[in-house]
Chain A
Amino acid sequence: MNLTLHVWRQAGQDDNGGFQTYEAKDVSPDMSFLEMLDVVNEGLEASGQEPIAFDHDCREGICGMCSLQINGVPHGPDRGTTTCQLHMRSFKDGDTVVIEPWRAGPFPVLRDLVVDRTALDRIIESGGYISVRTGAAQDANATPVNKADADEAFEYAACIGCGACVAACKNASASLFTAAKVSHLARLPQGQVERYERVVSMVAQMDQEGFGSCTNQYECEAACPKEISVRAIAQMNRDFLVASLRGR
């Protein structure tokens, strides 16, 4: 099949950027979306033009590095799927595809489709962990964990930190990202000691980075490639309230 691509090109952080149009020819339905872009890029390179810069690494949907807004939707049309796992069989011959970087104030564009997401690392840095010195741990089976709790903690821990939730949100809120980590650790007995300090620090950092507030539109859940539930946000808000009442 043949497609027309409108791709965001931007030389650097200070450049205004704009759309450019490319033809993607003889695209196989078995190609991944990024392989389709690889072929376009190899054509550009062979003719001495600079290829489209985009972030990607594992191409297995787990590293969280790929980040494209495809026809206005983070990671494209398939639910529960990262861009790298999106295949061209989801498109039709003759389609026009608009490809943009994540759009959010705290994610400045570095070049073309590549954005800076280090703000998410700083949210984790502010408290998204359990403090335990290496070697200081007790036997792993000393504290049994209810299976339902362990399974739910896992659901939240599955976040890949891609930032699709932020890109999907009209307020560019990082609530789902932050809440996933808060809820993962709040579900486990090991996470209880720092539970309330954690939620306060992480929410403060999220605000400081310039992410917006949550207004319950659930766009984040719809865009999340790991289908993390917005129940995480409710958990974060509850923990934040309890922390405030406790004067943390």
Chain B
Amino acid sequence: MSSDMSNSDRVQKLHAGGPTGPIEKRWDQHRFDMKLVNPANKRKFDVIIVGSGLAGASAAATMAELGYNVKVFCYQDSPRRAHSIAAQGGINAAKNYQNDGDSIHRLFYDTVKGGDFRARESNVYRLAQISVNIIDQAVAQGVPFAREYGGLLDNRSFGGAQVSRTFYARGQTGQQLLLGAYQALEKAIHSGKVKMFPRTEMLDLVVVDGVARGIVTRNLVTGKVEAHAGHAVVLATGGYSNVFYLSTNAMGCNATAAWRAYKRGAFFANPCYTQIHPTCIPVKGEYQSKLTLMSESLRNDGRVWVSSKQGDTRKAKDIPDAERDYYLERKYPSFGNLVPRDVASRNAKYVCDEGRGVGGGEAVYLDFRDAIKRDGRDVIAAKYGNLFHMYHKITAEDPYEMPMKIFPAPHYTMGGLWVDYNLMSNLPGLHVIGEANFSDHGSNRLGASALMQGLADGYFVLPYTIGHFLATHKPETMGADHPAFVAAKQEVEGRIDGIVANNGSETVDSFHRKLGRIMWNHCGMSRNAEGLRSAIDEIKDLRGRFWQNVSVTGQKGSLNQVLERAGRVADFLELGELMCKDALTREESCGGHFREEHQTPEGEALRDDEKFCHAAAWGYEGEDAEPTRHVEELDFEYVKLTQRSYK
């Protein structure tokens, strides 16, 4: 272990730099304290935004509206396709429209507790405050949320909460919210304040005198490598679940932008905090390319169970009620099927490890029989129709007739680039928003909170805080012909040449699959020191082989999907190792990070608040050097540190 923490002379104590005082006044006070950029000066500033999902699109639209010149980059053919589009269940907001006891403080409390006390209180409180504005904004944009017959907005419940605070648009909430942000972005493009670069991938960050000043990109159609300079850079590039190869993320989701920023000096915080989502369609075969999520909202009406016998090969309908174990309802009577995701996933693993999974294999039932009996098929179809349809399409089984089979799968990453209260990384000028940063979800994100965070960052936080950076730092205008840009561009071109020159015999995907298996086995739902150490060695070997024997067909100067994937997999092969190092160093269990050595007698995550009540932010030290583990201490003034209980 000591070798992982040996750079002691370089270790920094990180500070979020947020305001102090009563928590409910902090964001207000901070907004007043921050410096402003006057309207005439805003048009002198160019902001680069990478990624066009909820966070990137909402930030771009809002900053363009304020008067900044914005450039937006995405790898897809249109900004509307960012993977936020696939979020199904909903978005949380402390509106208390249901009059069921919700409040900003309760959403704050649930999020800190749900994150197993590893998030920053000030950030989470701000998020809860802003949540209500997001719903107002989205409705005004024409987002067609579900409504009751009286015409008012409807809500449902999500895991880790005992109130109904989730707003939804059938099972397509992410799609509708993203289209709202996308339409606002398109309006800004029309006004000329945003220049859009679709099918363009960021391949490097340009840092000049310690300040982030631009990026290097590759046009995915022509292969042209270009440098773009600006006064500030924003990464809204999502998470890194695809390090597992099989995940619920889109095929193109990747960590390259964040990883390139890390290698230019930005700290990567808590990389081991990954969310394994409990309700996904199980893996079918070796050819499988991705996993499909079945929304957590299904746990409002679906009941999770397995047979009480091992290796039970009877069909679900032939297993009588007395022989069914509704294990979540049994173990957690007050939250039942709506326990947080980490708890639900871990328990699915336990019952499958006991041999009680469906047919003795790796799946549990999610059953709507009782809900259909209670409410009727039409009511269930109105709530979940598109999800049932999707399940039926993929599995050829009708969930109205037989229970769904589900199993946990990688879904979201709470870790990400370290940011302060202003959402700026340790590199001045580099801001990180949405899933790409680490700040709000601790070690486990609650359902329906990702959409909330992405839009809070993009619509309501960054547009203020970036102004403060520009007003105080006053970055001078710099062209992309500056030597630092020329050098970065050359490095990127050299790296592309290096990848294209590989004429080995193993495909890019075969490396990605192997990496995924290592990560899933050793750094997945449960981890131990021995497994993590062996994973680190296996990843190093695999990386060595990648650079010797990967096959990259085609040319660099044209649309080349193999080249694109090769670059991303090369970065995952480095990130995976850092995730294992972080998991190995964090000698405790918390949320989604479950170390087998640290558990309560009942198999729940056992934190060590003495030693690990902090965020770990890793700093890159060079190709062959160990990274440095910096630390941000977490203070809990408003939520008392306790052993989480959902019983």
Contacts and interface: CB of A to CB of B under 8 A. Distances in A.
The answer to whether A and B belong to the same complex is: yes
Nearest to A29: B396
A131 to B, nearest CB: 7
A187 B480 CA distance: 47
A32 to B, nearest CB: 8
Contacts of B394: 32, 85, 87
A128 B78 CA distance: 15
A125 B61 CA distance: 12
B83 A58 contact: yes
A190 B251 contact: no
Contacts of A137: 133, 136-137, 139-140
Contact of A141 (B81, B152, B170): B152
Nearest to A38: B289
Interface residues of B, number: 83
A102 to B, nearest CB: 12
Contact of A60 (B390, B396, B561): B390
Nearest to A112: B559
B390 A140 contact: no
Contact of A63 (B85, B184, B288): B85
A38 B287 contact: yes
B211 interface: no
Nearest to A11: B558
A129 B183 contact: yes
A125 B147 contact: no
Interface string B580-599: 00000000000000000000
A118 B140 contact: no
A132 B289 CA distance: 40
Interface string A120-143: 110011101111111111111101
How many chain A residues sit at the interface, stated as a range, is 35 or more
B111 interface: no
A28 B287 CA distance: 9
Interface stretch (B33-41, B347-355, B503-511, B601-609): B503-511
A53 B199 CA distance: 14
Considering residues A46, A58, A133, which has the most beta carbons from chain B within 10 angstroms of its beta carbon? A58
Interface stretch (A151-159, A165-173, A209-217, A229-237): A151-159
Interface stretch (B186-194, B411-419, B440-448): B186-194
Contacts of A85: 390, 393-394
A110 to B, nearest CB: 6
Given A46-B507, A130-B142, A134-B65, A60 B558 contact: no
Contacts of A138: 136, 140
Contacts of B561: 51, 53
A42 interface: yes
Interface in B515-555: 551, 553-554
Contacts of A53: 559, 561
B97 A111 contact: no
27 contacts: A28-B287, A32-B394, A35-B287, A46-B551, A53-B561, A57-B76, A59-B290, A60-B292, A60-B390, A61-B393, A87-B394, A116-B77, A118-B78, A121-B80, A121-B196, A129-B186, A135-B137, A135-B460, A136-B140, A141-B152, A145-B147, A145-B151, A147-B151, A151-B147, A153-B144, A161-B81, A184-B142
The 5 closest A-B pairs by CB, nearest first: A144-B151, A129-B183, A137-B140, A137-B136, A154-B144
